[in-house]
Protein backbone atom coordinates (compact mmCIF):
# COMPACT_ATOMS: atom_id res chain seq x y z
CA UNK A 1 0.00 0.00 0.00
CA UNK A 2 2.81 2.38 0.89
CA UNK A 3 4.61 1.56 -2.37
CA UNK A 4 1.48 2.31 -4.44
CA UNK A 5 0.94 5.64 -2.67
CA UNK A 6 4.60 6.49 -3.18
CA UNK A 7 4.33 5.76 -6.92
CA UNK A 8 1.22 7.96 -7.19
CA UNK A 9 2.96 10.77 -5.33
CA UNK A 10 6.03 10.48 -7.52
CA UNK A 11 3.85 10.51 -10.64
CA UNK A 12 1.97 13.59 -9.47
CA UNK A 13 5.26 15.37 -8.77
CA UNK A 14 6.53 14.48 -12.25
CA UNK A 15 3.33 15.81 -13.88
CA UNK A 16 3.48 18.98 -11.78
CA UNK A 17 7.12 19.45 -12.66
CA UNK A 18 6.34 19.00 -16.38
CA UNK A 19 3.54 21.58 -16.23
CA UNK A 20 5.80 23.99 -14.38
CA UNK A 21 8.41 23.64 -17.08
CA UNK A 22 5.83 24.19 -19.82
CA UNK A 23 4.37 27.18 -18.00
CA UNK A 24 7.79 28.71 -17.45
CA UNK A 25 8.65 28.07 -21.10
CA UNK A 26 5.40 29.73 -22.22
CA UNK A 27 6.05 32.73 -19.95
CA UNK A 28 9.61 32.96 -21.30
CA UNK A 29 8.39 32.92 -24.93
CA UNK A 30 5.78 35.58 -24.17
CA UNK A 31 8.40 37.76 -22.52
CA UNK A 32 10.68 37.38 -25.54
CA UNK A 33 7.79 38.39 -27.85
CA UNK A 34 7.01 41.44 -25.71
CA UNK A 35 10.67 42.46 -25.57
CA UNK A 36 11.05 41.96 -29.35
CA UNK A 37 7.83 43.90 -29.99
CA UNK A 38 8.98 46.78 -27.84
CA UNK A 39 12.66 47.04 -28.80
CA UNK A 40 12.97 45.66 -32.34
CA UNK A 41 11.52 48.96 -33.73
CA UNK A 42 14.92 50.51 -32.94
CA UNK A 43 16.30 48.25 -35.68
CA UNK A 44 13.67 49.50 -38.17
CA UNK A 45 13.03 53.16 -37.27
CA UNK A 46 10.83 55.42 -39.38
CA UNK A 47 12.47 58.78 -39.93
CA UNK A 48 11.03 62.14 -41.00
CA UNK A 49 12.59 61.86 -44.46
CA UNK A 50 10.88 58.49 -44.92
CA UNK A 51 7.50 60.17 -44.50
CA UNK A 52 8.46 62.88 -46.98
CA UNK A 53 9.31 60.24 -49.61
CA UNK A 54 5.83 58.77 -49.31
CA UNK A 55 4.08 62.13 -49.24
CA UNK A 56 1.82 62.70 -52.22
CA UNK A 57 2.44 65.76 -54.34
CA UNK A 58 -0.45 68.11 -54.94
CA UNK A 59 -2.19 68.99 -58.20
CA UNK A 60 -3.12 72.62 -58.75
CA UNK A 61 -6.18 73.36 -60.88
CA UNK A 62 -6.44 76.79 -62.52
CA UNK A 63 -9.23 78.45 -64.47
CA UNK A 64 -8.75 79.70 -68.05
CA UNK A 65 -7.20 82.96 -66.80
CA UNK A 66 -4.78 81.43 -64.30
CA UNK A 67 -6.93 81.78 -61.15
CA UNK A 68 -6.28 78.93 -58.66
CA UNK A 69 -9.46 76.89 -58.26
CA UNK A 70 -8.27 74.04 -56.04
CA UNK A 71 -5.16 72.27 -54.81
CA UNK A 72 -5.64 68.53 -54.36
CA UNK A 73 -3.52 65.55 -53.45
CA UNK A 74 -2.85 63.42 -56.50
CA UNK A 75 -3.76 60.14 -54.79
CA UNK A 76 -7.07 60.76 -53.06
CA UNK A 77 -8.22 64.24 -54.09
CA UNK A 78 -7.65 65.89 -50.74
CA UNK A 79 -6.13 69.26 -50.00
CA UNK A 80 -2.89 69.27 -48.00
CA UNK A 81 -0.65 72.20 -47.09
CA UNK A 82 2.51 71.40 -45.09
CA UNK A 83 3.81 73.90 -42.52
CA UNK A 84 6.55 73.94 -39.88
CA UNK A 85 5.65 74.02 -36.19
CA UNK A 86 6.85 77.62 -35.84
CA UNK A 87 4.30 78.54 -38.55
CA UNK A 88 1.42 77.32 -36.39
CA UNK A 89 -0.23 79.28 -33.60
CA UNK A 90 0.90 78.07 -30.14
CA UNK A 91 -2.78 78.04 -29.21
CA UNK A 92 -3.44 75.25 -31.71
CA UNK A 93 -0.40 73.22 -30.61
CA UNK A 94 -1.60 73.37 -27.01
CA UNK A 95 -5.22 72.71 -27.95
CA UNK A 96 -4.52 69.61 -30.05
CA UNK A 97 -2.22 68.12 -27.40
CA UNK A 98 -4.78 68.77 -24.64
CA UNK A 99 -7.59 67.32 -26.77
CA UNK A 100 -5.83 64.25 -28.16
CA UNK A 101 -2.84 63.32 -26.00
CA UNK A 102 -2.03 65.33 -22.86
CA UNK A 103 0.92 63.04 -22.03
CA UNK A 104 2.43 63.34 -25.51
CA UNK A 105 5.84 64.47 -24.25
CA UNK A 106 5.97 61.81 -21.51
CA UNK A 107 5.44 58.50 -23.36
CA UNK A 108 7.19 56.56 -26.11
CA UNK A 109 4.29 55.82 -28.43
CA UNK A 110 1.78 54.20 -26.07
CA UNK A 111 0.21 55.76 -22.98
CA UNK A 112 -0.28 52.73 -20.72
CA UNK A 113 -2.21 54.71 -18.10
CA UNK A 114 -4.62 56.00 -20.74
CA UNK A 115 -5.07 52.47 -22.13
CA UNK A 116 -5.80 51.05 -18.67
CA UNK A 117 -8.22 53.89 -17.92
CA UNK A 118 -10.01 53.36 -21.25
CA UNK A 119 -10.36 49.61 -20.60
CA UNK A 120 -11.79 50.29 -17.13
CA UNK A 121 -14.32 52.86 -18.40
CA UNK A 122 -15.35 50.65 -21.33
CA UNK A 123 -15.89 47.63 -19.06
CA UNK A 124 -17.95 49.76 -16.67
CA UNK A 125 -20.12 51.12 -19.47
CA UNK A 126 -20.42 47.79 -21.28
CA UNK A 127 -19.45 49.50 -24.52
CA UNK A 128 -16.64 51.60 -26.01
CA UNK A 129 -16.90 55.08 -24.50
CA UNK A 130 -13.26 56.12 -24.57
CA UNK A 131 -9.97 55.19 -26.19
CA UNK A 132 -6.31 55.32 -25.31
CA UNK A 133 -4.88 56.48 -28.63
CA UNK A 134 -1.85 58.74 -28.53
CA UNK A 135 -0.83 61.26 -31.16
CA UNK A 136 1.85 58.82 -32.36
CA UNK A 137 -0.72 56.02 -32.68
CA UNK A 138 -3.04 58.33 -34.61
CA UNK A 139 -0.20 59.30 -36.94
CA UNK A 140 0.47 55.61 -37.61
CA UNK A 141 -3.21 55.20 -38.50
CA UNK A 142 -3.19 58.28 -40.74
CA UNK A 143 -0.14 57.01 -42.62
CA UNK A 144 -1.69 53.56 -43.23
CA UNK A 145 -5.47 53.71 -42.67
CA UNK A 146 -7.06 50.29 -42.17
CA UNK A 147 -10.22 48.89 -40.51
CA UNK A 148 -10.08 49.05 -36.72
CA UNK A 149 -9.51 45.39 -35.86
CA UNK A 150 -7.40 43.99 -33.01
CA UNK A 151 -4.70 42.85 -35.43
CA UNK A 152 -4.53 46.28 -37.07
CA UNK A 153 -4.32 47.97 -33.68
CA UNK A 154 -1.31 45.78 -32.84
CA UNK A 155 0.27 46.81 -36.15
CA UNK A 156 -0.41 50.47 -35.38
CA UNK A 157 1.21 50.09 -31.96
CA UNK A 158 4.33 48.55 -33.55
CA UNK A 159 4.47 51.36 -36.11
CA UNK A 160 4.09 53.91 -33.30
CA UNK A 161 7.20 52.43 -31.64
CA UNK A 162 9.04 52.67 -34.98
CA UNK A 163 8.03 56.33 -35.34
CA UNK A 164 9.23 57.11 -31.82
CA UNK A 165 12.48 55.26 -32.50
CA UNK A 166 13.29 57.32 -35.59
CA UNK A 167 11.81 60.77 -34.89
CA UNK A 168 11.80 63.30 -32.10
CA UNK A 169 8.56 64.65 -30.65
CA UNK A 170 8.62 67.82 -32.73
CA UNK A 171 8.91 65.84 -35.99
CA UNK A 172 6.06 63.54 -34.97
CA UNK A 173 3.87 66.49 -34.02
CA UNK A 174 4.64 68.26 -37.30
CA UNK A 175 3.76 65.17 -39.36
CA UNK A 176 0.56 64.75 -37.32
CA UNK A 177 -0.86 68.28 -37.55
CA UNK A 178 -0.16 68.40 -41.29
CA UNK A 179 -2.18 65.21 -41.87
CA UNK A 180 -5.10 65.78 -39.53
CA UNK A 181 -8.52 65.23 -41.16
CA UNK A 182 -10.27 68.60 -40.87
CA UNK A 183 -13.60 67.97 -42.58
CA UNK A 184 -14.55 67.71 -46.24
CA UNK A 185 -11.45 67.35 -48.40
CA UNK A 186 -9.26 69.34 -46.01
CA UNK A 187 -6.23 67.83 -44.30
CA UNK A 188 -3.79 69.68 -42.08
CA UNK A 189 -4.13 72.71 -39.84
CA UNK A 190 -2.97 75.33 -42.34
CA UNK A 191 -5.30 74.21 -45.12
CA UNK A 192 -8.22 74.18 -42.68
CA UNK A 193 -7.28 77.56 -41.21
CA UNK A 194 -7.20 79.21 -44.64
CA UNK A 195 -10.36 77.45 -45.85
CA UNK A 196 -12.52 78.12 -42.77
CA UNK A 197 -11.16 81.46 -41.53
CA UNK A 198 -9.13 82.88 -44.41
CA UNK A 199 -5.96 83.21 -42.29
CA UNK A 200 -2.72 81.19 -42.08
CA UNK A 201 -2.31 78.80 -39.15
CA UNK A 202 0.18 81.19 -37.51
CA UNK A 203 -2.57 83.81 -36.99
CA UNK A 204 -5.17 81.61 -35.32
CA UNK A 205 -6.77 83.04 -32.19
CA UNK A 206 -7.52 80.88 -29.17
CA UNK A 207 -11.18 80.63 -30.22
CA UNK A 208 -10.29 79.62 -33.78
CA UNK A 209 -7.52 77.24 -32.68
CA UNK A 210 -9.67 75.42 -30.13
CA UNK A 211 -12.47 75.10 -32.69
CA UNK A 212 -10.10 73.54 -35.24
CA UNK A 213 -8.62 71.23 -32.59
CA UNK A 214 -12.12 69.90 -31.96
CA UNK A 215 -12.71 68.76 -35.56
CA UNK A 216 -10.35 65.70 -35.82
CA UNK A 217 -12.38 63.89 -33.14
CA UNK A 218 -15.09 63.32 -35.77
CA UNK A 219 -14.31 65.22 -39.01
CA UNK A 220 -17.52 64.31 -40.83
CA UNK A 221 -20.02 65.25 -38.12
CA UNK A 222 -18.00 68.18 -36.71
CA UNK A 223 -17.56 70.06 -40.00
CA UNK A 224 -18.21 73.74 -39.11
CA UNK A 225 -20.30 74.24 -42.26
CA UNK A 226 -22.57 71.36 -41.28
CA UNK A 227 -23.12 71.59 -37.54
CA UNK A 228 -21.47 74.50 -35.78
CA UNK A 229 -23.54 73.93 -32.61
CA UNK A 230 -22.22 70.38 -32.19
CA UNK A 231 -18.70 71.59 -32.91
CA UNK A 232 -19.01 74.30 -30.25
CA UNK A 233 -19.87 71.61 -27.69
CA UNK A 234 -16.69 69.76 -28.56
CA UNK A 235 -14.79 73.07 -28.43
CA UNK A 236 -15.88 73.44 -24.79
CA UNK A 237 -14.35 70.04 -23.99
CA UNK A 238 -11.08 71.09 -25.67
CA UNK A 239 -10.93 74.37 -23.73
CA UNK A 240 -11.74 72.65 -20.43
CA UNK A 241 -8.93 70.15 -21.02
CA UNK A 242 -6.55 73.01 -21.81
CA UNK A 243 -7.52 74.65 -18.52
CA UNK A 244 -7.09 71.37 -16.64
CA UNK A 245 -3.59 70.99 -18.12
CA UNK A 246 -2.72 74.54 -17.06
CA UNK A 247 -2.40 75.79 -20.65
CA UNK A 248 -4.99 78.53 -20.12
CA UNK A 249 -6.75 79.90 -17.06
CA UNK A 250 -10.19 78.48 -16.22
CA UNK A 251 -11.66 81.98 -16.34
CA UNK A 252 -10.97 82.22 -20.09
CA UNK A 253 -13.10 79.24 -21.09
CA UNK A 254 -16.51 80.93 -21.02
CA UNK A 255 -15.18 84.11 -22.61
CA UNK A 256 -13.67 82.22 -25.54
CA UNK A 257 -16.88 80.23 -26.06
CA UNK A 258 -18.84 83.49 -26.34
CA UNK A 259 -16.60 84.87 -29.07
CA UNK A 260 -18.23 85.06 -32.50
CA UNK A 261 -16.68 82.74 -35.07
CA UNK A 262 -16.79 84.13 -38.61
CA UNK A 263 -16.42 81.41 -41.22
CA UNK A 264 -15.20 82.15 -44.71
CA UNK A 265 -17.98 81.69 -47.33
CA UNK A 266 -17.92 78.04 -48.25
CA UNK A 267 -18.02 78.34 -52.02
CA UNK A 268 -15.10 80.74 -52.01
CA UNK A 269 -12.84 78.05 -50.61
CA UNK A 270 -14.34 75.13 -52.51
CA UNK A 271 -14.90 76.16 -56.13
CA UNK A 272 -16.33 73.70 -58.71
CA UNK A 273 -15.78 70.55 -56.58
CA UNK A 274 -17.72 68.14 -58.83
CA UNK A 275 -15.83 69.28 -61.92
CA UNK A 276 -12.43 69.17 -60.20
CA UNK A 277 -12.93 65.73 -58.63
CA UNK A 278 -14.18 64.27 -61.91
CA UNK A 279 -11.17 65.70 -63.73
CA UNK A 280 -8.74 64.52 -61.03
CA UNK A 281 -9.84 60.90 -61.46
CA UNK A 282 -8.82 61.03 -65.14
CA UNK A 283 -5.36 62.51 -64.65
CA UNK A 284 -2.08 60.57 -64.56
CA UNK A 285 -0.31 60.40 -61.19
CA UNK A 286 2.49 62.61 -62.48
CA UNK A 287 0.16 65.59 -63.11
CA UNK A 288 1.02 68.69 -61.08
CA UNK A 289 -0.61 71.67 -62.83
CA UNK A 290 -3.87 71.65 -64.79
CA UNK A 291 -5.28 74.61 -66.72
CA UNK A 292 -9.05 74.10 -67.16
CA UNK A 293 -11.57 75.84 -69.42
CA UNK A 294 -13.56 77.08 -66.41
CA UNK A 295 -14.05 80.79 -65.82
CA UNK A 296 -13.90 81.43 -62.06
CA UNK A 297 -16.12 84.52 -62.26
CA UNK A 298 -18.78 82.72 -64.30
CA UNK A 299 -18.51 79.76 -61.91
CA UNK A 300 -19.25 82.02 -58.94
CA UNK A 301 -22.05 83.78 -60.83
CA UNK A 302 -23.73 80.50 -61.80
CA UNK A 303 -23.47 79.21 -58.21
CA UNK A 304 -25.01 82.43 -56.89
CA UNK A 305 -27.85 82.24 -59.43
CA UNK A 306 -28.65 78.68 -58.41
CA UNK A 307 -28.76 79.70 -54.75
CA UNK A 308 -31.04 82.65 -55.64
CA UNK A 309 -33.44 80.51 -57.67
CA UNK A 310 -33.61 77.81 -54.99
CA UNK A 311 -34.51 80.44 -52.38
CA UNK A 312 -37.37 81.55 -54.63
CA UNK A 313 -38.52 77.96 -55.17
CA UNK A 314 -38.27 76.96 -51.51
CA UNK A 315 -42.09 77.21 -50.99
CA UNK A 316 -42.44 74.55 -53.69
CA UNK A 317 -40.00 72.20 -51.88
CA UNK A 318 -37.30 72.48 -54.55
CA UNK A 319 -34.08 71.71 -52.64
CA UNK A 320 -31.33 71.24 -55.20
CA UNK A 321 -30.24 72.19 -58.70
CA UNK A 322 -27.39 71.71 -61.16
CA UNK A 323 -26.22 73.62 -64.22
CA UNK A 324 -23.48 73.61 -66.82
CA UNK A 325 -22.46 76.58 -68.96
CA UNK A 326 -20.87 75.82 -72.34
CA UNK A 327 -19.29 77.84 -75.10
CA UNK A 328 -21.37 76.69 -78.08
CA UNK A 329 -18.64 77.58 -80.57
CA UNK A 330 -15.71 75.75 -78.91
CA UNK A 331 -17.53 73.32 -76.61
CA UNK A 332 -15.51 74.59 -73.63
CA UNK A 333 -17.04 74.12 -70.17
CA UNK A 334 -17.13 77.64 -68.69
CA UNK A 335 -18.99 76.86 -65.45
CA UNK A 336 -20.02 73.60 -63.81
CA UNK A 337 -22.25 73.39 -60.73
CA UNK A 338 -23.10 69.81 -59.78
CA UNK A 339 -25.27 70.79 -56.81
CA UNK A 340 -26.24 73.86 -54.84
CA UNK A 341 -24.16 72.87 -51.80
CA UNK A 342 -21.51 70.17 -52.00
CA UNK A 343 -21.47 69.76 -48.20
CA UNK A 344 -25.24 69.37 -47.79
CA UNK A 345 -25.70 65.64 -47.13
CA UNK A 346 -29.42 66.05 -46.44
CA UNK A 347 -30.01 67.04 -50.08
CA UNK A 348 -27.29 64.79 -51.59
CA UNK A 349 -24.90 67.65 -52.25
CA UNK A 350 -22.03 65.38 -53.29
CA UNK A 351 -24.05 63.80 -56.09
CA UNK A 352 -23.18 65.41 -59.42
CA UNK A 353 -26.51 66.58 -60.85
CA UNK A 354 -24.90 67.44 -64.19
CA UNK A 355 -23.84 63.83 -64.78
CA UNK A 356 -26.71 62.06 -62.97
CA UNK A 357 -29.14 60.16 -65.19
CA UNK A 358 -32.74 61.40 -65.10
CA UNK A 359 -36.03 61.32 -67.02
CA UNK A 360 -36.02 63.94 -69.82
CA UNK A 361 -39.61 64.89 -68.90
CA UNK A 362 -40.90 68.04 -70.58
CA UNK A 363 -37.46 68.89 -71.96
CA UNK A 364 -38.34 67.09 -75.20
CA UNK A 365 -41.70 68.84 -75.74
CA UNK A 366 -40.33 71.97 -77.49
CA UNK A 367 -38.41 69.81 -79.96
CA UNK A 368 -41.52 67.76 -80.75
CA UNK A 369 -43.66 70.87 -81.26
CA UNK A 370 -41.05 72.49 -83.55
CA UNK A 371 -40.68 69.30 -85.58
CA UNK A 372 -44.46 69.12 -86.02
CA UNK A 373 -44.66 72.76 -87.14
CA UNK A 374 -41.88 72.14 -89.65
CA UNK A 375 -44.18 69.47 -91.13
CA UNK A 376 -46.97 72.01 -91.64
CA UNK A 377 -48.89 71.98 -88.34
CA UNK A 378 -50.02 75.28 -86.84
CA UNK A 379 -52.11 76.42 -83.80
CA UNK A 380 -55.39 75.91 -85.72
CA UNK A 381 -54.54 72.37 -86.86
CA UNK A 382 -56.84 69.57 -85.68
CA UNK A 383 -55.33 66.30 -84.46
CA UNK A 384 -57.35 63.11 -84.24
CA UNK A 385 -56.95 61.19 -81.03
CA UNK A 386 -57.17 57.60 -82.34
CA UNK A 387 -55.39 54.34 -81.42
CA UNK A 388 -52.15 53.97 -83.34
CA UNK A 389 -49.34 51.40 -83.31
CA UNK A 390 -45.70 51.86 -84.32
CA UNK A 391 -42.94 49.39 -84.98
CA UNK A 392 -39.93 50.56 -83.01
CA UNK A 393 -36.45 49.02 -82.49
CA UNK A 394 -37.59 47.83 -79.06
CA UNK A 395 -40.92 46.40 -80.33
CA UNK A 396 -44.46 47.61 -80.90
CA UNK A 397 -45.20 51.02 -79.37
CA UNK A 398 -48.88 51.88 -78.72
CA UNK A 399 -49.28 55.26 -77.03
CA UNK A 400 -52.61 55.76 -75.30
CA UNK A 401 -54.44 57.85 -72.76
CA UNK A 402 -57.27 57.38 -70.31
CA UNK A 403 -59.72 59.75 -72.03
CA UNK A 404 -62.08 58.95 -74.91
CA UNK A 405 -60.78 59.54 -78.48
CA UNK A 406 -61.43 63.10 -79.57
CA UNK A 407 -60.38 65.76 -82.04
CA UNK A 408 -58.24 68.45 -80.42
CA UNK A 409 -56.74 71.67 -81.78
CA UNK A 410 -52.95 71.60 -82.23
CA UNK A 411 -52.42 74.48 -79.80
CA UNK A 412 -53.91 72.46 -76.92
CA UNK A 413 -52.61 69.08 -78.03
CA UNK A 414 -50.54 66.99 -75.68
CA UNK A 415 -47.16 65.74 -76.92
CA UNK A 416 -48.38 62.16 -77.15
CA UNK A 417 -51.30 63.36 -79.30
CA UNK A 418 -48.90 65.02 -81.72
CA UNK A 419 -46.88 61.80 -81.64
CA UNK A 420 -49.93 59.87 -82.85
CA UNK A 421 -50.25 62.04 -85.96
CA UNK A 422 -46.57 62.78 -86.56
CA UNK A 423 -45.03 59.33 -87.11
CA UNK A 424 -41.64 59.19 -85.33
CA UNK A 425 -40.72 55.85 -86.87
CA UNK A 426 -40.12 57.63 -90.16
CA UNK A 427 -37.26 59.52 -88.51
CA UNK A 428 -35.92 56.75 -86.26
CA UNK A 429 -32.23 56.14 -86.97
CA UNK A 430 -31.67 52.87 -88.78
CA 294 – CA 296 distance, rounded (Å)? 6
In the predicted model, is pLDDT for residue 96 greater than 50? yes
Q: Which residues contact 357 (CB under 8 A, 6 or more apart)?
A: none
Mean pLDDT computed over every residue of the chain:
82
Question: What pTM did the predictor assign?
Answer: 0.62
Give the CA diameter of the chain: 128
CA 240 – CA 254 distance, rounded (Å)? 10
In the predicted model, is pLDDT for residue 313 greater than 60? yes
In this prediction, residues 129-141 reach a mean pLDDT of 84
Confidence of residue 11 (pLDDT cuts 50, 70, 90): low
Q: Which residues contact 400 (CB under 8 A, 6 or more apart)?
A: 387
How high is the pLDDT of residue 74?
46
CA 215 – CA 219 distance, rounded (Å)? 5
CATH superfamily entry for domain 78-261 = Biosynthetic peptidoglycan transglycosylase-like (1.10.3810.10)
Q: Which residue has the higher pLDDT, 208 or 13?
A: 208
How high is the pLDDT of residue 269?
53
Percent of all residues in the chain with a pLDDT value above 70, rounded to a whole number: 82
Strands 68-73 and 323-326, bridge-based pairing: unpaired
In this prediction, residues 111-127 reach a mean pLDDT of 77
In this prediction, residues 399-408 reach a mean pLDDT of 57
In this prediction, residues 191-220 reach a mean pLDDT of 92
How high is the pLDDT of residue 97?
96
How high is the pLDDT of residue 265?
75
In the predicted model, is pLDDT for residue 127 greater than 80? no
Q: Which residue has the higher pLDDT, 77 or 248?
A: 248
How high is the pLDDT of residue 429?
42
Confidence of residue 87 (pLDDT cuts 50, 70, 90): very high
Confidence of residue 10 (pLDDT cuts 50, 70, 90): low
Confidence of residue 76 (pLDDT cuts 50, 70, 90): very low
CB-CB contact of 139 with 174 (8 Å): no
Confidence of residue 8 (pLDDT cuts 50, 70, 90): low
In this prediction, residues 249-277 reach a mean pLDDT of 84
In the predicted model, is pLDDT for residue 422 greater than 90? no
Query: Which residue among 4, 251, 286, 362 is the active-site one?
Result: 362
Confidence of residue 390 (pLDDT cuts 50, 70, 90): confident
In this prediction, residues 118-126 reach a mean pLDDT of 74
Give the model confidence (pLDDT) of 223-244 as tens digits: 898 888 999 999 999 999 999 9
CA 152 – CA 269 distance, rounded (Å)? 36
In this prediction, residues 13-39 reach a mean pLDDT of 79
How high is the pLDDT of residue 249?
94
In this prediction, residues 248-252 reach a mean pLDDT of 93
270: DSSP letter: S
In this prediction, residues 252-258 reach a mean pLDDT of 93
Query: Which residue among 100, 164, 193, 303 is the active-site one?
Result: 100
In this prediction, residues 307-316 reach a mean pLDDT of 92
In the predicted model, is pLDDT for residue 417 greater than 50? no
How high is the pLDDT of residue 18?
77
Run of H or E including 21? helix 2-39
Annotated catalytic residue 6: no
How high is the pLDDT of residue 399?
74
Q: Which residue has the higher pLDDT, 130 or 247?
A: 247
CB-CB contact of 69 with 58 (8 Å): no
Between 54-58, 119-123, 213-217, 286-290, the lowest mean confidence (pLDDT) is in 54-58
Annotated catalytic residue 100: yes
Confidence of residue 159 (pLDDT cuts 50, 70, 90): very high
In this prediction, residues 204-209 reach a mean pLDDT of 95
Give the model confidence (pLDDT) of 321-334 as tens digits: 999 999 999 999 99
SS3 content of the chain, % helix, strand, coil (to 5): 50, 10, 40
CB-CB contact of 130 with 122 (8 Å): yes
In the predicted model, is pLDDT for residue 421 greater than 50? no
Which pairs from 188-192 meet CB under 8 Å and 24+ separation?
A: 188/79, 188/80, 188/81, 188/82, 188/83, 189/83, 189/88, 189/92, 189/96, 190/81, 190/82, 190/83, 190/87, 190/88, 191/79, 191/80, 191/81
Exposure of 199 in the CB half-sphere (CA atoms within 13 A)? 15
Amino acid sequence: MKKSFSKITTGMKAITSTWKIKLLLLIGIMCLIVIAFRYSPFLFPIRAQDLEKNQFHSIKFYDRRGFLLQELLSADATRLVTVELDQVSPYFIKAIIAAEDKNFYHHHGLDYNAIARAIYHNLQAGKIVSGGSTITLQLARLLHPKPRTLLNKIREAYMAFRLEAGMDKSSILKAYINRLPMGGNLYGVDGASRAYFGVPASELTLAQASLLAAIPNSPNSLNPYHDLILLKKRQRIVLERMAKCGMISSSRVEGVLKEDIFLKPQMASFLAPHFIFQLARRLPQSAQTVRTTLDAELQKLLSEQITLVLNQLKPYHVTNAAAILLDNYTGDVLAYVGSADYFNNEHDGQIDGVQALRQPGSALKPFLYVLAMEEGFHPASLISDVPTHYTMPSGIYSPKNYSEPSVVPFASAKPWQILLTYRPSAYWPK
